A and B are shown apart, each in its own frame.
Chain A
Amino acid sequence: KQEVTQIPAALSVPEGENLVLNCSFTDSAIYNLQWFRQDPGKGLTSLLLIQSSQREQTSGRLNASLDKSSGRSTLYIAASQPGDSATYLCAVRPQGGSEKLVFGKGTKLTVNP
């Protein structure tokens, strides 16, 4: 059974700092991996999607990497801003035709002005 773990559970940094969020998964047979952002009381916004054949994806100040064989992904946020404060969720879609995403519990990020 696929399990997704995110470390740390919470992170507080000063504005301008570069930071890395970690995600690990137990079964390397994945189709893709997505990083989401969740604001309090709101839905999830997809940030980056990495297909299993890819190593990384970039969008603006965000860069996500994938090492499928070791079951790890990282989300790098450059020059963090207070507006980046949110919970960041990692989710994997298994291979084999399954529809579902399996989520981690998230990392709650606070960027202090």
Chain B
Amino acid sequence: EPEVTQTPSHQVTQMGQEVILRCVPISNHLYFYWYRQILGQKVEFLVSFYNNEISEKSEIFDDQFSVERPDGSNFTLKIRSTKLEDSAMYFCASIPTDRRGEKLFFGSGTQLSVL
């Protein structure tokens, strides 16, 4: 079965550093998402992306966050200046063309630790 692939699986960084989390969505999917899960808490929506632009973002997704699809296959989440509270598991997800009727496919996540 096709998979959403995320790299790296673990990322450790110092507070204030920039990080880029990478995702390769399933090839025929057109809608892309980032979610995060702080340890012991609920999975939270960050942003959705379609047709090379953000279609929706949460209040968590402030100016420190950005997303892009640089080459038609990768989908990245950048955090410009990481804070301790950014430590979480970050999940990429995608769905096919008919976004409303379809299940969401998640990657296995990137565990980000900010020291």
> Which residue numbers of A lie inside 8 Å of B, CB to CB?
4, 31-32, 34, 36, 41-46, 49, 51, 89, 91, 93, 98-106
Once A100-B58, A102-B45 are accepted as A-B contacts, the answer to whether A44 and B91 lie under 8 Å apart by CB is yes
Once A44-B91, A99-B33, A105-B42 are accepted as A-B contacts, the answer to whether A32 and B104 lie under 8 Å apart by CB is no
CB <8 Å contact, A32 and B45: no
CA distance A65 to B6 in the complex (A): 32
What is the total number of residues of chain B having a CB less than 8 Å from a CB of chain A? 28
Chain A contact residues, majority secondary structure: strand
CB <8 Å contact, A103 and B55: no
CB <8 Å contact, A99 and B108: no
In-complex Cβ contact of A45 among B56, B58, B101, B106 (8 A):
B106
CB <8 Å contact, B109 and A43: yes
CB <8 Å contact, A98 and B56: yes
Chain A residues within 8 Å of B93, by CB: 44
CA distance A100 to B93 in the complex (A): 11
CB <8 Å contact, B106 and A43: yes
Who on chain A is nearest to B50 by CB? A99
CB <8 Å contact, B55 and A99: yes
Who on chain B is nearest to A97 by CB? B56
> Which residue numbers of B lie inside 8 Å of A, CB to CB?
4, 6, 31, 33, 35, 41-45, 48, 55-56, 58, 91, 93, 99-109, 111
Who on chain A is nearest to B109 by CB? A43
CA distance A34 to B104 in the complex (A): 9
Besides A34-B103, A46-B105, A99-B99, 8 other A-B contacts (C-beta < 8 A): A43-B6, A43-B106, A44-B104, A49-B102, A99-B31, A99-B56, A101-B104, A102-B45
Chain A residues within 8 Å of B42, by CB: 4, 103-106
7 sampled A-B residue pairs with Cβ under 8 A: A34-B103, A41-B109, A46-B104, A49-B103, A100-B45, A100-B48, A105-B41
Chain B residues within 8 Å of A51, by CB: 101
Closest chain-A Cβ to B92's Cβ sits at a distance in Å of 9
Once A99-B48, A103-B44 are accepted as A-B contacts, the answer to whether A44 and B106 lie under 8 Å apart by CB is yes
CB <8 Å contact, B100 and A31: yes
Chain A residues within 8 Å of B48, by CB: 99-100
